[in-house]
Amino acid sequence: MSGKANKIVYPPGCKDITEEIGKEELVRRLKLLARAFQDMGQDDNDQYSGLAVYLATDYFLDHQSKDVRLLVACCIADVFRIFAPEAPYKDLKHLKDIFIFLVKQLRGLEDPDSPSFKRYFYLLENLAWVKSFNICIELEENQEIFCSLFQLMFSIVSDKHSSKVKNFVLDMLTPLITEADSVSQELMDIILLNVVEPYKTQKRVAYALAKELLIRSSNAIEPYIQAFFNNTLMLGKSSESELSHRLYDLIYELNQISPNVLLSVLPQLEFKLKSNEESERKQVTKLLAKMFSDEGSSLVEQNRPLWICFLGRFNDISIPVRQTCVQFSQYFLINHPETNKDIVEQLKSRSHDPEETIRMEVVNTVLSVAKKDFSIINEELLGFIKERTLDKKFQVRREALMGLGQLYKKYTFGEKVEESYVEKVSFIKDKIFHHYYQQSSDDRLLVERVFNTCLVPYNMPEEDRMRQFLLLYCTLDEHAIKAFQEMFKHRISVRAMILQMVEAIEQQALLNPRIVSLSRTLPETGKAIEHLKKFCQIIKDDKRLRSYLIKLLSQDCTCKKAQDLVREILKKLGGPSQGTQNIYYNTIKSLLERVAPVMIDVSAVDQLVSHVDDSVRGLGIITEGIDGAAEKSVKLLMVLSWTYPYYFKTEETYELLLTFMKHDDESVADLTLQIFNNIGKNLQKDYPNIYSSLLPVVSSAAKLGNPKQCKHAIRCINTICKNKEAIYGQIFEHYKKSLNPESANFITAIVGLGHIAKLCPEEFAPDIKTIVSKVIVKDLLMQDHTFGPSTTESWYSEHHVTEESMAKVRWYSEHHVTEESMAKVSWYSEHHVTEESMAKLQSMKLLTRWLQGLKSNANNSGTSTLRLLYTVIAHEGDLMEKGNINKPELARLRLQAGCCMIKLAEEKCFSDIITHEQFQALALLMNDSCYHVRHIFSLKLHKSLLTLRLPLQYMSIFCLAANDPMRERRTQIKQFLQNNITKRREYIKQNPSIQGRIFHFLPDYVMPYTIHLLAHDPELKEHDDVEPLKNIKECLWFNMEPLISKSEDYNYTFFRRMIENIKQTKDAQDPDDEETNMKLYAVCDVALGLLNSKSGNITLKDVTVEPRLSAKHFTKPDKSYSNTQNYLPKDFSFEGHKRKGVNALIDTSGKANTSKGQTTEIIVESPGPVVNPLPISPREQRQPKTKKTDVSSETESSPNSSADSVKKNDSGKNVDKKKPQKRKLDTDTKDENKEPKTAKVRNKKQTKTSGKNVPKSMDTEESDGDEDDDSSVANSESQESQEIPLGPKTKKAKNVSDKNSKSNVRTSKVDTLQKSKSLMNGAKTDSTVRTSDSQKPGSARKRKTESVSKESTPVKKSKLTPALKNLSPSVSESSTPSSPGRSSTKSSTSSVKSSSKSTPKKSPHQSKLKKTTITRSKLNRSDGESDESPPEDKTKKNVRKTASKQTRLDQFNVKSAPKNVRKGKNLPNGVSDGDSQETSSAASTPKSGTSIRIKTKVQTPDSTKKRGRPKKT
């Protein structure tokens, strides 16, 4: 070693460094040496190369002392600087060891607080400045050094390091990437791992270092990144890299750091978006959503194809993918306004997504954006939330409604809110209250919660809360105000139920009925009952908890106290938790929130009355700028006085209310009277001074006020006065003096007398009776002292049907009406009514109130009054028929008479004496010519029926609404009917004790009343009049549909037995009149037909109670015989559910070329009967809807339409000159598979039949023949109403009726075969094709169909067959003869076959079906004869066999008429006279899935012979 030392040259001042010296001395000498190297430049330093090599020996590199190693590392670093660019180390292995040593020494940078940190920093600075590690690039194993260096730097860097340290690290590391020949995957992993989670979050400084490193070396590292993603993404090569499972996270981070490195990677993602793997599509979608939506991202503009592809994922089949797209939409709306159009369009489609979670996500997205930046939200986005408030799922509705409430709260009560934002959310309050119209308890509870927390936050200061409460009410629309009032009424009813429950617990009474009633106000009634029982048990056991609940429900409870009590009660229940306990907790919480007075108490009412006083006087700024603010403010007090009368108890409140009585606005004074009527029960006792001041004001209003004020003043006196008779006496005398048409208070006196007579019937009975008989009836109602404007307009021609005419009526009701215009309308507003007519209206009300007070028919007062009211209705409002009253006032008079009869009918003593004629005249108001009469009458009827005071008979009046020409009216009344049915069913369930009187409440019993009412239809002159019966059918179905359609309470057996029992009785109205009884039976047959044809699948249930019939309407049933006769005309048919029938199953697309002797076989799978979608037949003419239909739509029209009918005018001449389109039958087998379960047409010779070959001469003769036939039929049948019958049109399957404008005709391909003479009439099988007539009102009833179908609906096989066997009467069927139709072909034979895929056991009466050709001999057989099938020829053996079993369905009889039997002549369709006779065999409608096979043999047009039309006998 000494020899080597002699060769080593040391810098001046430095001592030799040997292995023999001690550690401390070695450190001291190394410090001097390091200092010398530090000061040394690069000039002439070759002499120190030996020293440099010596310092890099193993002795120093592996020295135990870290100080020695550090100083040596600093010296070596300086050596690299001094000897740059050529280092004195020539051995590559040695050079590798040196750099590994330097890397290890750099770990000392980890602790910046270390005493030796400066030397470590110097080492870093030196290495970075000189780029010493670049020497390693030439080494073969350089990646090992680089990886260790990079790993070390990322592991030791921290927040403690200064920016200088980080910059030197970057300066040292960056060249190793940018100047290297290659970058290993291991090195890339070390760098890239630091930019993805969890390293990104856990080591933020390392992330920043890696981020900056990637930015600096982006160009150099891009190829390696691209190669990595190509291998992993596109080629699917496996990789040992830790990043292989974090590819999409890495792409996102790289895009954040340096988008340039991904320029060639992003296009590859478009293919991944279309991957078949759902998880992969979801990951890529999430990645691109983040990349596109990041703030400052320009990827949308840079890569438009990828953006379009990404938008397609909004419609992905996968729910998670669509959900991901919607979730990120909010970031697009906020960060990238340029994408709003695309995003809003996608959100619109997703707001109607079939998946509930997606729709909810749309709501949450829009709400999130609105809370962050409301300026972004436009009307369309808010519309998405408004739509979702009506979502079918409550969870979605809840999110939408609660979100709207929070927006309203934020942008209404927030500080420094822009006025435009307030205006934008102004609709929310109305929308929330409109939601209260929902029937669900969940929705109503939600509205109440939103009201308490958002619209008027209960935790606001009292003054602010009442100010907002008043402002909210004054700005609500009409519908929202009704919902607001209903909400408070509902709260009071629930509060009363809970009080009754608590009282029952204290008195140990029966709890179950009260619990059941209360549970109906909560969601999920079944669970609510269990929770309430549990709550009642807790209350029963815990007296303290029960005391809390009693205090909460007491009248003295304040808002602050109520909040504390609710909190204590919920704490006793255990608080919110998970699972079932949480559901129970929420149920009780919802109940307490509904009844707790957290909004209104005594002090709150005082504050509110003060605000209302300012509004009434015009001083308040709360309601400034609101129209009618004073009236609306007082109306709010009136609502609260009805629901919380006990909170109006301070003298200051009464004094302010007293000032309202003296207000100039009559409506304010009127509302104040109602308030005192609600709260003034103890006023005389508690506040005598207020009472003494109020009484003169109320008395003055009763004497001199308008009729409304008079009414409320009389009622108020009845409430506040103890000695009311004396006060009424004074007022009564004043009224007697004012009963003079010349008096200014004439009408007020009539109104006041009526109310006094009702409230004090005994005290003023003699005087009232005298006034009624001498003044009201004789001098007023029976006299016409004034004359209305003359009018020449037809009453019935002014039906307000169209929107234009309705708008005209509304215009007249709101603007000035001249005498001339009064004569042109049938209604105008009340202030245009003459004083005499107004007096007559009030006089009828007086009579009604007088009788309501008497509550008896003493001296036949009720009988005479009802007779008078009936006369007013019968004479259309003109009692004396003098013609001095104009139409609008006549309409009001007859409407008032009807309303008065309804009021009287609520009292049993008067309903019993209402005659049949009076009731029927009252019912016809439902079909009044004036729209307003119909509308108001139906509202009054509905309101009275809902109270359950009006007899069930009056619900039958709703059936006449089927005649209303306005669809909106029919829909509204159908809803009225449904509400009444629901109300009565719920009442029966809640009151089991009424089972003995269930006849008066069960809605099913409305059907006998409906049948009786319709049997006395004035238009039904005879029992077999077709057109009136069609109208009656629509009316019957109007009432039957809500009872039997989708109703779990529907019992087919009960209905049928009830109707059949009616046929065993006689009409009690005129039991001896045979025609009257036959009308009744005909209507019963219509009802039975509807019961079978439109009731859907029938499930027979046991009938434990024999149906009862009203003795007032029907005689006692005669059980000695069974009335099975069918009283309907033969051409009357019933339409079942709208399903594809025979005519919809035959393709008509191809041309038909028939040849002589050709046989065509049509196999039809009948899914079941067809339903008319609009069962409405109005009395008034409706405009037909002209709607073009293609051939496919023709197949759904009625098979009853005749191919021979031609449109004619009154003279019988042809109006429609267009020839009927020849229906084409395509028998090509190519179309057989187009529709499953549709007609399969098989042509044995693969040819087609057509009616196009009919010569023109035959069409002409056919038209002439029809005219002759019409004239002959017209001589034998009534033609009171005219019609224009239509033939089948070329492109429309419609017939226009004067009384029925709807499309009610089903055009059939089977009819085409009949027209072509390819089908024979009267096919006798167990299953027949519907070919019922489709005549129009008033026309001669030609029989144009070959057979009459008897239709019934498929039923459950296991139940229907034996039951119907017992229920159905004996059947007498017949088929009507076919009218001769002209065609180019003849039908020589016709066979109809039916089959069923699966049928139960045969009924006893059912014989085995065989392939039968119907001949004259078979048609002539009677019911008792058995049918024997002739032997089948060989040509029929190849025909597909059909099943021989079929479920027997009940059917209706069509009674044969002798006048329809033809005889003696050959028919034009090639059938002899015997073929036209009626059959008596039973024909039941094929069940769903039954096949009907029609086989015809058609001749060519050349062989067709013209035949004359047969005469009728």
User: Is residue 367 pLDDT above 90, yes or no?
Assistant: yes
Q: pLDDT tens digits, residue range 913-937? A: 999 999 999 999 999 999 999 999 9
Q: pLDDT tens digits, residue range 1278-1311? A: 333 333 333 333 333 333 334 333 333 333 333 4
User: Is residue 1109 pLDDT above 50, yes or no?
Assistant: yes
Residue 1185 DSSP code: P
Q: Is 349 left (phi over 0), alpha (psi -120 to 50) or beta?
A: alpha
Token output for 170: 């970057």
Range 1001-1029 average pLDDT: 93
What is residue 762's predicted lDDT score, i.e. its pLDDT?
87
Q: pLDDT tens digits, residue range 224-281? A: 988 888 888 777 665 667 787 888 888 999 988 888 888 888 888 888 888 899 999 9
Judge residue 85's burial from the number of C-beta atoms within 10 Å of its C-beta, 0-12 exposed, 13-18 middle, 19 or more buried: exposed
State how far the Cα of 834 lies from the Cα of 786, in Å rounded to an integer. 9
Q: Are 884 and 784 in contact (CB under 8 A)?
A: yes
Q: pLDDT tens digits, residue range 1488-1497? A: 333 333 333 3
Range 947-970 average pLDDT: 94
What is residue 1100's predicted lDDT score, i.e. its pLDDT?
64
User: Is residue 94 pLDDT above 90, yes or no?
Assistant: no
CB atoms within 10 A of CB 418: 12
Q: pLDDT tens digits, residue range 815-825? A: 444 444 444 46
Judge residue 392's burial from the number of C-beta atoms within 10 Å of its C-beta, 0-12 exposed, 13-18 middle, 19 or more buried: exposed
What is residue 92's predicted lDDT score, i.e. its pLDDT?
86
State how far the Cα of 1454 lies from the Cα of 1348, in Å rounded to an integer. 7
Average pLDDT along the chain? 75
User: Is residue 1209 pLDDT above 80, yes or no?
Assistant: no
Global model pTM greater than 0.75: no
Range 615-633 average pLDDT: 84
**φ, ψ for residue 1511, nearest 5 deg:** -85, 155
Residue 1497: which H helix or E strand, with range?
strand 1490-1498
Name which of 413-427, 1125-1139, 1332-1346 the model is least confident about.
1332-1346
CA 55 to mean position of chain CA atoms: 89
User: Is residue 56 pLDDT above 50, yes or no?
Assistant: yes
Range 20-33 average pLDDT: 87
Contact residues for 205 (Cβ-Cβ < 8 A; gap 6+): 157, 158, 159, 161, 166
- DSSP helix/strand/coil, 1390: strand
Q: pLDDT tens digits, residue range 975-989? A: 999 999 999 998 888
CB atoms within 10 A of CB 1234: 9
Name which of 46-60, 504-518, 861-875, 1257-1271 the model is least confident about.
1257-1271
Q: pLDDT tens digits, residue range 1356-1373? A: 333 333 333 333 333 333
What is residue 1047's predicted lDDT score, i.e. its pLDDT?
72
User: Helices marked H in 1002-1114 — which ranges?
Assistant: 1006-1015, 1026-1044, 1052-1062, 1074-1093
State how far the Cα of 743 lies from the Cα of 1227, in Å rounded to an integer. 86
User: Is residue 1170 pLDDT above 70, yes or no?
Assistant: no
What is residue 1173's predicted lDDT score, i.e. its pLDDT?
36
CB atoms within 10 A of CB 41: 8
State how far the Cα of 783 lies from the Cα of 776, in Å rounded to an integer. 10
Residue 1444 DSSP code: S
Residue type, position 1146, single letter:
I
State how far the Cα of 442 lies from the Cα of 450, in Å rounded to an integer. 12
Q: Whole-angstrom distance between the N-terminal and C-terminal Cα of the chain?
A: 151
Residue corresponding to tokens 């590392």: 73
What is residue 1437's predicted lDDT score, i.e. its pLDDT?
37
Q: Are 785 and 779 in contact (CB under 8 A)?
A: no
Name which of 121-125, 193-197, 791-795, 1094-1098 the model is least confident about.
791-795
Q: Are 234 and 278 in contact (CB under 8 A)?
A: no
User: Is residue 727 pLDDT above 50, yes or no?
Assistant: yes
Task: Of 1367, 1386, 1261, give the one whose Cα is nearest residue 1314.
Answer: 1386
Residue 808: which H helix or E strand, with range?
helix 803-814
How confident is residue 1102, by pLDDT bands cut at 50, 70 and 90? low
Higher pLDDT, 765 or 620: 765
CA distances, 738 to each of 748, 835, 839 (Å): 9, 14, 13
Range 1149-1173 average pLDDT: 35
DSSP string across 61-122: HT-S-HHHHHHHHHHHHHHHHHTTTS-S---HHHHHHHHHHHHHHGGGGG-TTSTTHHHHHH
Residue corresponding to tokens 């409405």: 1176
Task: Of 1104, 1123, 999, 1001, give the one whose Cα is nearest residue 1062.
Answer: 1123
User: Is residue 44 pLDDT above 80, yes or no?
Assistant: no
Residue 1496: which H helix or E strand, with range?
strand 1490-1498
User: Is residue 328 pLDDT above 90, yes or no?
Assistant: yes
Contact residues for 991 (Cβ-Cβ < 8 A; gap 6+): none
Q: Percent of the chain at pLDDT above 90?
A: 45
Q: Are 1351 and 1134 in contact (CB under 8 A)?
A: yes
DSSP string across 444-505: HHHHHHHIIIIIS-TTS-HHHHHHHHHHHHHH--HHHHHHHHHHHHHHHHHHHHHHHHHHHH
**φ, ψ for residue 341, nearest 5 deg:** -60, -45
State how far the Cα of 1020 lies from the Cα of 1342, in Å rounded to an integer. 20
Q: Strand 1158-1166: give its sheet, edge to edge.
A: 1240-1243, 1158-1166, 1490-1498, 1387-1395
What is residue 1059's predicted lDDT score, i.e. its pLDDT?
93
> Three-class SS string for 548-590?
HHHHHHCCCCCHHHHHHHHHHHHHHCCCCCCCHHHHHHHHHHH
Higher pLDDT, 16 or 1455: 16
User: Is residue 741 pLDDT above 90, yes or no?
Assistant: no
Q: Are 80 and 129 in contact (CB under 8 A)?
A: no
Task: Of 820, 975, 957, give the one whose Cα is nearest residue 902.
Answer: 957
Please report the sign of the dihedral spanned by the C-alpha atoms of residue 353, residue 355, residue 356, residue 362.
Answer: negative
Q: Percent of the chain at pLDDT above 70?
A: 70
Token output for 308: 């379009």
Higher pLDDT, 1149 or 727: 727
Task: Of 1143, 1323, 1330, give the one whose Cα is nearest residue 1223.
Answer: 1143
**φ, ψ for residue 1492, nearest 5 deg:** -120, 120
- DSSP helix/strand/coil, 1096: coil
Token output for 750: 């009539």
Is residue 85 reached through a cis peptide bond, with omega within 30 degrees of 0 on the bond before it?
Answer: yes
**φ, ψ for residue 1484, nearest 5 deg:** -110, 150
Range 777-788 average pLDDT: 82
Strands (E), 1317-1455: 1387-1395
Q: Are 1122 and 1211 in contact (CB under 8 A)?
A: no
Task: Of 1200, 1168, 1198, give the one whose Cα is nearest residue 1093.
Answer: 1168
- DSSP helix/strand/coil, 1164: strand
What is residue 634's predicted lDDT score, i.e. its pLDDT?
94
What is residue 89's predicted lDDT score, i.e. its pLDDT?
85
Higher pLDDT, 535 or 414: 535
User: Is residue 637 pLDDT above 60, yes or no?
Assistant: yes
How confident is residue 403, by pLDDT bands cut at 50, 70 and 90? very high
Cα angle 1167, 1168, 1173; round to 5:
110
Long-range CB contacts (within 8 A, 24+) of 461-464:
462/559, 462/603, 462/604, 462/607, 463/607
